[in-house]
Amino acid sequence: MAKETFLTCVTVRNNTLSLRGWLEFWRIDELTELLESLDVMTPSDLCLLEQKEVAKLELKKVQEHHYQKALAHSKYLEDIHFDRPPSPLQLWLETWRLDRLQKPLFDLGVDVKEDVIDLDEEDAQKLGMRLLEERRWKQATSQLLKVIRNFDFKDNTRASAPSLTTWLVSLKLEELDEPLQLLGVVELCDLADIDDRELASLKLNKLQRKHWDQGLLQVLKANKEAMLDGRADDATFVGFLQAWRLYRLAPIMDELGAYVQQDLLDLEPSEYSLLKMRPLEAKRFEQAMITLEEEFQAWN
């Protein structure tokens, strides 16, 4: 990869180049899969590898020469905090309840969420989106260039928090899922309650601690009350429907792409007939929508 292309990618995408692209720049991209297996996610992670892990790479003489250059650059990127936290496609899709689209997006060549900006309307039609998924897609893509892995629950776009498991996978920390559950961590907002003693019990190495700190910084920036308001909780959606005696409509709502209660706010009143409600259900549904809209406005 030419240096000019490398710099252009960094500038235009407003993000660091992928690990594979960076390694290609230093002519050691054949190490990509092996480094990823060692939990290296970004260029600046390379300098945090312990010597015993570097030994597993079994570098040849020529590779060693290029590796040392890449290592020097990695230390520089770490010193100036150039790396941004990763923003995986799966994490972004789940926050918008669009994770059903992951496979068709992959088939189109979308590997990371930044690739989404290259899709045109014709490509989007191939995703087979449901009615409400399509509306969330438009909201999500419209702000894609403005927000990079920012869980801001006080905006008016009705995004929701990703699950703890997805968050851990995005940071290559999935092995912490069970230990965290044993500590009582159920959702992202619970991470703020972990003290130093409990964190030490997780026995994170340098690379894992870096990924943990990057992810936790974003979580702590989010408003804790907003994360606890139930907007991302599927069980709350079931409870919402049961409370309004509308649970019979759950399968129809699923077909329309409504997975949490705020998704229903994307329905136009003229489209309520799509739910095939009985007369009294229709009355309760309209009352529920008024209440839901008032609650949502209060959150914002």
pLDDT digit string (tens) for 29-68?
Answer: 899 889 988 888 888 889 889 888 899 999 988 899 899 9
293 — pLDDT class (breaks 50, 70, 90)? confident
Structure confidence at residue 3 (pLDDT): 41
pLDDT digit string (tens) for 264-285?
Answer: 988 999 999 999 998 888 888 9
160 — pLDDT class (breaks 50, 70, 90)? low
What does CATH list as the number for 3-79? 1.10.150.50
Per-chain mean pLDDT for the chain: 78
Which range, 120-124, 128-132, 227-231, has the best average confidence (pLDDT)? 128-132
Structure confidence at residue 84 (pLDDT): 59
Q: How many Å apart are CA 205 and CA 50, to the nearest integer?
A: 9
* pTM > 0.75: yes or no: no
Half-sphere exposure of 155 (CA within 13 A, CB side): 15
Taking CA 177 as the corner, what is the angle to CA 173 and CA 180, rounded to the nearest 5 degrees? 110
Taking CA 215 as the corner, what is the angle to CA 84 and CA 201, rounded to the nearest 5 degrees? 135
235 — pLDDT class (breaks 50, 70, 90)? very low
Q: Give domain limits for the chain.
A: 3-79, 89-222, 234-299
